[in-house]
């Protein structure tokens, strides 16, 4: 596996090391030991699959706080999704900064999202599917969220939003803070 740290410390893009022959290729998609070797929390108490029927569908931005703060590892296994992460660690030098990355069945990249990072994504193709692993069980009392359209974050989603859950439209806006440096990978 190939690990590339993003400009938000602790968040990584993870690529494959393919072994190819005439039949196709083999690649390790996840390895707890390799995650540990890179200082990452292994993920794996739950695996989830999310299908998005319509291009423009938005899910998130979600995270969990202690004692159930969770790390996540996402891959897009069909189609294309645009993933955004936001650093929610109050003591971090990159607090409230975000970045976006395209994950697709073509580029086969994975995204490791550390604890205390909000995460959301938008389907860029009809019928996209994401497979992801989490390090903690879903704990409703620890769930938090950010508004996808919060002016403080100023996230530039690539498409108009066609579908979003009512819950995701009702997260509160962040209190007014100084502007942060947000960019897209």
CATH code for the domain of 88? 2.60.120.10
The answer to the question of residue 184 being in a domain is: no
Give how far the C-alpha of residue 9 lies from the chain's centroid of Cα atoms, to the nearest Å: 14
User: CB–CB of 154/96 below 8 Å?
Assistant: no
Rounded Cα–Cα distance for residues 80 and 154 (Å): 22
Cis peptide before 67 (omega within 30 of 0): yes
Q: Considering 112, 121, 132, 148, which one is annotated as catalytic?
A: 132
Angle at 72 between CA 27 and CA 18, to 5 degrees: 10
> pLDDT tens across 136-164, in order?
999 999 999 999 999 999 999 999 999 99
Instruction: For residue 121, indicate whether it is catalytic.
Output: no
Query: What's the mean pLDDT when you consider all of the chain?
Result: 93
Which residues, listed in sequence order, are joined to residue 145 by a DSSP beta bridge? 62
**In a 3-state reduction of DSSP, which class is residue 136?**
coil
For residue 49, what pLDDT is reported? Answer: 96
| DSSP reduced 3-state for 44 | coil
**Cβ–Cβ under 8 Å, residues 132 and 75:** yes
- Residue 109's nearest CA partner among 32, 185, 33 is 185
pLDDT value at 178 more than 50:
no
> Domain tally for the chain?
1
In a domain, 185, yes or no: no
Residue 177 within any structural domain of the chain: no
Catalytic residue among 53, 62, 112, 119: 62
User: Is 38 known to be catalytic?
Assistant: no
Using omega within 30 degrees of 0 as the cis cutoff, is the peptide bond preceding 61 cis?
yes
Nearest to 10 by CA among 82, 129, 95, 102: 95
- 85, part of any domain: yes
Radius of gyration of the chain (CA): 16
Residue 77 and residue 131: Cα distance in Å, rounded?
Answer: 7
With respect to residue 176, please indicate whether it lies within any of the assigned structural domains: no
- Output the pTM of the full model: 0.91
| Residue 159 falls inside a structural domain | yes
Where does the pLDDT of residue 176 fall: very low under 50, low under 70, confident under 90, or very high at 90 and above?
low
Residue 179 lies in a domain: no
Among 16-30, 54-68, 104-118, 160-174, the minimum mean pLDDT is found in: 16-30
- The reply to whether 181 falls in a domain is no
Q: Structural domain of residue 48, as residue ranges?
A: 2-169
């Amino acid at each position: 596996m190939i690990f590339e740290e993003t400009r938000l410390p602790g968040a990584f893009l993870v690529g494959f090391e393919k072994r190819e022959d005439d039949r196709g290729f083999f690649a390790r998609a996840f390895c707890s030991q390799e995650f540990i070797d890179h200082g990452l929390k292994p993920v794996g108490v739950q695996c989830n699959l999310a299908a998005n029927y319509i291009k423009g569908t938005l899910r998130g931005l979600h995270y969990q706080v202690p004692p159930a703060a969770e790390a996540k590892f996402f891959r897009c296994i069909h189609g294309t999704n645009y993933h955004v992460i936001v650093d929610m660690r109050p003591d971090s030098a990159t607090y409230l900064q975000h970045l976006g990355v395209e994950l697709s069945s073509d580029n086969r990249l994975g995204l490791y999202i550390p604890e205390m990072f909000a995460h959301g994504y938008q389907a860029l193709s009809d019928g996209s599917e994401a497979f992801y692993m989490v390090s903690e069980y879903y704990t409703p009392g620890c769930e938090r969220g950010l508004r996808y359209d919060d002016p403080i974050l100023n996230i530039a989603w690539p498409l108009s939003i066609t579908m979003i859950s009512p819950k995701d439209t009702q997260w509160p806006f962040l209190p007014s803070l100084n502007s942060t440096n947000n960019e897209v990978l």
